[in-house]
Amino acid sequence: MRKKAGASEVHPLDAFIRRLRLHSRLADADAEAIRRLPFKLLQTRQNAQPVREGDLTSHCMILVSGYIHRFRITEGGDRQILAIYVSGDPIDLDRLYLPVADDTLQAIRESAIARIPQQSLHDLCAARPAIADAIVRAVLVDSSVFREWILNVGRRDARTRIAHLFCELAVRLKAQGLPFEHVPMPLTQDQIADATGLTSVHVNRILKALRAEGHIERSAGGLVCVPDLDKLLIVGGFDFRYLHLDG
């Protein structure tokens, strides 16, 4: 009757395995092989930058807990956030094949990261084709998300754009089995602005409007609370297809 303690306890990479299984079938043996991967747990504080554009890297990182974003800067110094990662997400798989970083990674709040030697991952992929496939699939889904961001920033007005960002976060959190009614909002208004290609001033006004309309609510700890995700999905013009969550 009692659950046995032991190997099946929570492992830092379990969330990563869950994330891969969102899009790929992995045998238990594959999952076990991932758990046996050598890694070091890295605790980063808010705003730390575990990798900067231009760095030559030797490891890949999995976000174990916390939130991290990825950004680039224009010649003029303007920042654009390109992705927001939640626990379980691999945050720089690209560096497995392109070891020179083309973006900077920054912790949104204090986070825990598993650092895995690239060589170990390559070896694992060579030994286990199902894992290699799962990794490519994860890369491709991310790629589809990048494309949706182009669409979001290029063709939607501020209100829809911001709503869409919240929707995406909520849906991805939900898919990962994380609490999603409260979207992680240690995302400052500045960061929302940088993720949507807007100004923090304008973001502020739009948030006010969305609040007035009841689409979002303030919540403890600076979280954004989504009282009715279905309604917000409509405001954000959200279509699930690009996330490839067919499961």
The residues that touch DNA, with contacts defined as CB under 7 A, are 157-159, 188-190, 197-202, 204-205, 207-208, 221-222
Strands (E) in 30-160, as ranges, are 40-44, 59-65, 68-73, 79-85, 104-107, 111-117
154: partner contacted, choices a copy of itself, DNA, none (Cβ within 5-8 A by kind): a copy of itself
199: partner contacted, choices DNA, a copy of itself, none (Cβ within 5-8 A by kind): DNA
Distance between CA 137 and CA 172 in Å, rounded?
Answer: 16
Q: What residues form DSSP beta bridges with 42?
A: 113
Distance between CA 36 and CA 38 in Å, rounded?
Answer: 6
49: partner contacted, choices DNA, a copy of itself, none (Cβ within 5-8 A by kind): none
Instruction: Report, in Å, the least distance between residue 185 CB and DNA.
Output: 7
- Tell how strand 217-219 and strand 223-225 pair up: antiparallel
Of residues 83-142, those binding a copy of itself (CB under 8 A): 83, 94, 97-98, 100, 102-103, 126, 129, 132-133, 136-137, 139-142
Instruction: Report, in Å, the least distance between residue 234 CB and DNA.
Output: 18
Distance between CA 65 and CA 114 in Å, rounded?
Answer: 10
Q: Beta-carbon neighbour count of residue 234 at 10 Å?
A: 12
Is the CB of 94 or the CB of 181 nearer to a copy of itself? 94
- Tell how strand 40-44 and strand 59-65 pair up: unpaired
Q: Beta-carbon neighbour count of residue 247 at 10 Å?
A: 8
Instruction: Report, in Å, the least distance between residue 47 CB and a copy of itself.
Output: 20
Instruction: Report, in Å, the least distance between residue 155 CB and DNA.
Output: 9
148 binds a copy of itself (CB under 8 A): yes
- For residue 182, what are the CA distances in angstroms to 26, 92, 125? 30, 26, 36
Instruction: Report, in Å, the least distance between residue 188 CB and DNA.
Output: 4
Is the CB of 31 or the CB of 198 nearer to DNA? 198
247 binds a copy of itself (CB under 8 A): no
Q: Are 23 and 244 in contact (CB under 8 A)?
A: yes
Give me the residues that bind a copy of itself (CB under 8 A), please.
Answer: 23, 53-54, 70, 72, 74-76, 78-80, 82-83, 94, 97-98, 100, 102-103, 126, 129, 132-133, 136-137, 139-144, 146-151, 153-156, 196-197, 237, 239, 241-242, 244, 246
